[in-house]
């Protein structure tokens, strides 16, 4: 018998491509098209690099205080990690240890089933309805936990906060994670509910609306008891997750409320213009409250569009998965990037039409 | 039944204190007393902060190539993580999934049993001999994995690489992790053995000998098949662990071989001087091949010395644990810091002697 028998075999999450060519139009991983707040650049410039010889604050206090201050919370109600993936992985590991299955939609962030498999957590995927919407009543059953991305990915559909409350309130027996990676693009956060429901944890990220995907910062907000359990697991995994630079840049970033609001406003404006443009080209779209659009075309296979755009240096996201095989997820870029996308799509559709004539 | 029943309860690792007062002499968490290579400062300064809007390379290719280049390895033989704690946690999760207990010394890095508890891995702690040394023959039995810190912490004792090979060669049925956090301070690495033994993984860190504790970078080196399994688990946990700045600063750091060698040389020189100084004061020491000393005094309780030093603004490490309760772990600082420590200890011992007269 060899050592291979003791190895944990998993099918990992496959992140979107990160091509290094800067001339590409990159609309495939939902990054913010605008640079981070100038205050983060300033924080990095002001940072004394000699301090890097010392461990960071394991509690990332400065960052935690900045986040708590932004949301009107106590420090004890906030947890930070290396991107919201790290935060969510810690949540799965900490909160989902019962024998009953954890529930999440069949079409949602595709890391949820990967974490469940990794940690051997039983789970069931609850089908979205035919309009790719969550039906809260489908979650009215005994379970070991619930995870809802809101807005959902890759559909962009928003569940009203009353529906979130209905799910959370119906499940005092388990922790409900609401993954709000995209909430700042027009959605209403479930955050106020954490003072009412001790089983609710709200997860957000600096990677989308705060323009800092490269820095790796995510956070969770919940009743102090949930945060304490989460910290116990974090301190059993890695004492020092947040680097000194992440703490400094993150704290500076979250204090620049005006820049944050302006970037979100612009992205929402571009989203609506882009949605109109896509509809004019014959695409059908979900009702996205996020920084991406989820689009299908009745006449053309999504995979063919994906390949064509790629050949023209425009990266969008496509999954070879049931139900969504004929959809593209398109990150909202700058106005100019979306115009170039529109021109490429129009050209492709013209060629198809000519070929079919 | 409430959600609390599904929560993973753990007793977390307690990191050494990170006091923020810069006037303290901080000899408690084995940081390097010298600032990072000027090239890391330059890499941070040169970094375009606008790039932080984009995710980093999930494979951290630039950092991996720099590490592989330094050690004469293929990129496929190197894994990087958020400090060696992250790397070791991933190794425990990936490699120790059998039913048999994992073995490590009773006195060693106190995170090993925390990870085993976190991931529900059965383990047995193998007692060091009366001189705090590992007896390789104690590991001659069936097990699910072996973890050896070499040099060991907090004893500093080095196991010759032939003894490491004996353990690795005797256990083709399990993965052997050699945690070489302190190897650069005079030890011989087991790294050359990874081409001979597919069950060996060697873990190192940028936090000690590479002066970058604040940046959070650790790495593992092993046969490409072990690294692949480890990456599968990493990609099932968090796709993007290494920030853009960590990749840049880490790659710059490891290329500055001369600075690295000079810092290590100085620390070893100070270690030997400091060991002589402590012996002259009546302390007994283990034979440390690391950047710390492990010391006990026949006439005074370690806890009393610890408290006294703390009162004078000198932080060292003390554990209230069996066998080592009367020892202090003292990080090797600068020559000047060690002189101040020596003066404080001499003063304390004088007072004790006076009080006893």
- The two tokens of residue B276 are 């002589």
Instruction: Report, as an integer, the average pLDDT of B245-258.
Output: 98
Instruction: Report, as an integer, the average pLDDT of A170-194.
Output: 97
Give the relative orientation of helices B335-356 and B257-280 as an angle to the nearest 10 degrees: 10
CB atoms under 10 Å from CB of B218, counted, come to 24
- Is residue B10 scored above 90 in pLDDT? yes
How far CA B37 is from CA of A285, B23, B34, B211, B320, in Å, comes to: 52, 23, 9, 8, 36
Instruction: Report, as an integer, the average pLDDT of B190-194.
Output: 98
Task: Please name the residues between 201 and 230 in chain B that touch chain A, using a CB distance below 8 Å.
Answer: 207, 211-216, 229
- Is residue B170 scored above 80 in pLDDT? yes
Q: What angle do CA A155, A159, A164 make, to 5 degrees?
A: 135
Asked if B84 has any chain A CB less than 8 Å from its own CB, the reply is no
Q: How many CB pairs under 8 A join A and B?
A: 283
Of A8, A10, A237, the CB nearest to B118: A237
> Residue B296 forms beta bridges with which residues?
B284
A13 contacts B214? CB cut-off 8 A: no
Instruction: Report, as an integer, the average pLDDT of B44-59.
Output: 97
pLDDT of amino acid B62: 98
Instruction: Report, as an integer, the average pLDDT of B135-143.
Output: 95
A57 contacts B145? CB cut-off 8 A: no
Measured CA to CA, the distance from residue A295 to residue A232 in angstroms comes to 42
A49 contacts B35? CB cut-off 8 A: yes
Of the listed ranges A66-70, A195-199, B98-102, the one predicted with least confidence: B98-102
- The two tokens of residue B76 are 């496929």
pLDDT category of residue A67 using cuts at 50, 70 and 90? very high
Min Cα separation A170/chain B (Å) = 12
What b/e string do you get for A278-299 counting C-beta neighbours within 10 Å, with b at 16 or more? Answer: beeeebebbebbbbbbbbbbee
- Is residue B234 scored above 80 in pLDDT? yes
Q: Is B165 exposed, middle or buried (0-12, 13-18, 19+ CB in 10 A)?
A: middle
Q: Is B127 helix (H, G, I), strand (E, B) or coil?
A: coil
pLDDT of amino acid B125: 98
Instruction: Report, as an integer, the average pLDDT of A6-28.
Output: 88
Min Cα separation A355/chain B (Å) = 38
Closest CA to A8 of B142, B175, B98: B98
Instruction: Report, as an integer, the average pLDDT of A194-207.
Output: 98
pLDDT of amino acid B325: 97
Cα radius of gyration (chain A) = 21
Asked if B54 has any chain A CB less than 8 Å from its own CB, the reply is yes
B244 contacts A246? CB cut-off 8 A: no
pLDDT of amino acid A295: 98
pLDDT of amino acid A1: 63
Run of H or E residues at A314: strand A314-315
Asked if B46 has any chain A CB less than 8 Å from its own CB, the reply is no
Of the listed ranges A20-24, B76-80, B99-103, B135-139, the one predicted with least confidence: A20-24
Q: In this predicted model, what pLDDT tens digit does every residue of B320-331 receive, in sequence order?
A: 999 999 999 999
Length of chain A: 357
- The two tokens of residue A219 are 């956070």
A204 backbone φψ class: left, alpha, beta (φ>0; ψ -120 to 50): beta
Measured CA to CA, the distance from residue B100 to residue B89 in angstroms comes to 18
Q: In this predicted model, what pLDDT tens digit does every residue of A156-169 receive, in sequence order?
A: 999 999 999 999 99
Q: Please enumerate in sequence order all residues whose Cβ is within 8 A of that of A279, keeping only pairs 6 or more positions apart, or say none.
A: A285
Q: In this predicted model, what pLDDT tens digit does every residue of B195-204 receive, in sequence order?
A: 999 999 999 9
In A, minimum Cα distance to B101 occurs at A6
B57 contacts A238? CB cut-off 8 A: no
Q: In this predicted model, what pLDDT tens digit does every residue of A109-142 receive, in sequence order?
A: 999 999 999 999 999 999 999 999 999 999 999 9
Q: In this predicted model, what pLDDT tens digit does every residue of B145-155 receive, in sequence order?
A: 999 999 999 99
Of B52, B85, B231, the CB nearest to A212: B52
pLDDT category of residue B2 using cuts at 50, 70 and 90? confident
pLDDT of amino acid B15: 84
Task: Please name the residues between 99 and 128 in chain A that touch chain B, using a CB distance below 8 Å.
Answer: 114-115, 117-118
Is residue A218 a contact partner of residue A82, using CB atoms and an 8 Å limit? Answer: yes
Which long-range contacts link A275-280 to residues 24+ away (Cβ below 8 Å)?
A277/A338, A277/A342, A278/A330, A278/A342, A278/A345
Q: In this predicted model, what pLDDT tens digit does every residue of A287-322 receive, in sequence order?
A: 999 999 999 999 999 999 999 999 999 999 999 999
Task: Determine the longest span between alpha carbons in chain A, in angstroms.
Answer: 69
Average pLDDT, chain B: 96
- The two tokens of residue B46 are 């040169």
Instruction: Report, as an integer, the average pLDDT of A42-64.
Output: 97
Measured CA to CA, the distance from residue B292 to residue B275 in angstroms comes to 10
- Is residue B120 scored above 90 in pLDDT? yes
pLDDT of amino acid B13: 85
Asked if B55 has any chain A CB less than 8 Å from its own CB, the reply is yes
Task: Please name the residues between 160 and 189 in chain A that touch chain B, using a CB distance below 8 Å.
Answer: 171-175
Q: In this predicted model, what pLDDT tens digit does every residue of B273-284 receive, in sequence order?
A: 999 999 999 999
Average pLDDT, chain A: 96
Q: In this predicted model, what pLDDT tens digit does every residue of B89-118 receive, in sequence order?
A: 999 999 999 889 999 999 999 999 999 999
In A, minimum Cα distance to B116 occurs at A236
Q: Is A351 exposed, middle or buried (0-12, 13-18, 19+ CB in 10 A)?
A: exposed
> Residue B126 forms beta bridges with which residues?
B105
Is residue B285 a contact partner of residue B294, using CB atoms and an 8 Å limit? Answer: yes
Closest CA to A254 of A59, A45, A34, A62: A62
Chain B positions in Cβ-Cβ contact with residue A14 (cut-off 8 Å)? 235
- Is residue A3 scored above 90 in pLDDT? no
pLDDT of amino acid B1: 63
Q: Is B102 helix (H, G, I), strand (E, B) or coil?
A: strand
pLDDT of amino acid B269: 98
Is residue A33 a contact partner of residue A332, using CB atoms and an 8 Å limit? Answer: yes
- Is residue A238 scored above 80 in pLDDT? yes
- The two tokens of residue A97 are 């240890």
Instruction: Report, as an integer, the average pLDDT of B215-225.
Output: 98
Instruction: Report, as an integer, the average pLDDT of B20-45.
Output: 95
Domains, chain A, in order of start with CATH, read 3-34+258-356 (3.90.1150.10), 38-256 (3.40.640.10)
pLDDT category of residue A257 using cuts at 50, 70 and 90? very high
pLDDT category of residue B21 using cuts at 50, 70 and 90? confident
Main-chain dihedrals φ then ψ at residue B291, nearest 5 degrees: -100, 30
pLDDT category of residue B20 using cuts at 50, 70 and 90? confident
Chain A positions in Cβ-Cβ contact with residue B53 (cut-off 8 Å)? 31-36, 211-214
Instruction: Report, as an integer, the average pLDDT of A81-102.
Output: 97
């Amino acid at each position: 018998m060899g050592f291979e028998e003791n190895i944990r075999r998993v099918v990992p999450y496959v992140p979107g491509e990160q091509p290094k060519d800067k001339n590409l139009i990159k609309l495939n991983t939902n990054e913010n098209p605008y640079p981070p707040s100038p205050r983060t650049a300033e924080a990095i410039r002001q940072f004394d690099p000699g301090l890097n010889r010392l461990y960071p604050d394991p509690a990332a206090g400065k960052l935690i205080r900045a986040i708590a201050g932004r949301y009107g919370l106590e420090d004890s109600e906030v947890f930070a990690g290396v991107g919201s993936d790290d935060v969510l992985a810690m949540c799965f590991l900490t909160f989902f240890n019962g024998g009953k299955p954890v529930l999440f939609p069949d079409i949602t962030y595709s890391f949820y089933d990967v974490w469940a498999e990794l940690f051997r957590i039983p789970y069931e995927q609850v089908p979205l309805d035919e309009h790719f919407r969550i039906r809260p009543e489908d979650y009215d059953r005994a379970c070991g936990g619930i995870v809802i991305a809101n807005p959902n990915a890759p559909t962009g559909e928003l569940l009203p906060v009353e529906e979130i409350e209905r799910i959370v309130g119906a499940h005092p027996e388990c922790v409900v994670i609401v993954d709000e990676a995209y909430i700042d693009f027009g959605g209403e956060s479930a955050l106020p509910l954490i003072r009412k429901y001790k089983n609710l944890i709200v997860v957000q990220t600096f990677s989308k609306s705060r323009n800092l995907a490269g820095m790796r910062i995510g956070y969770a907000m919940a009743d102090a008891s949930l945060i304490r359990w989460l910290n116990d697991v974090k301190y059993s995994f890695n004492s020092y997750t947040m680097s000194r630079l992440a703490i400094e840049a993150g704290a500076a970033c979250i204090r620049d409320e005006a820049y944050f609001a302006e970037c979100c406003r612009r992205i929402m404006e571009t989203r609506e213009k882009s949605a109109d443009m896509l509809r004019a080209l014959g695409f059908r779209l979900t009702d996205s409250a996020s920084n991406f659009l989820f689009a299908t075309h009745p006449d053309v296979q999504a995979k063919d569009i994906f390949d064509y755009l790629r050949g023209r240096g425009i990266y969008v996201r496509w999954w070879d998965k049931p139900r969504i095989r004929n959809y593209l997820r398109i990150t909202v870029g700058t106005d100019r990037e979306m115009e170039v996308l529109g021109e490429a799509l129009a050209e492709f559709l013209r060629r198809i039409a000519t070929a079919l004539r």
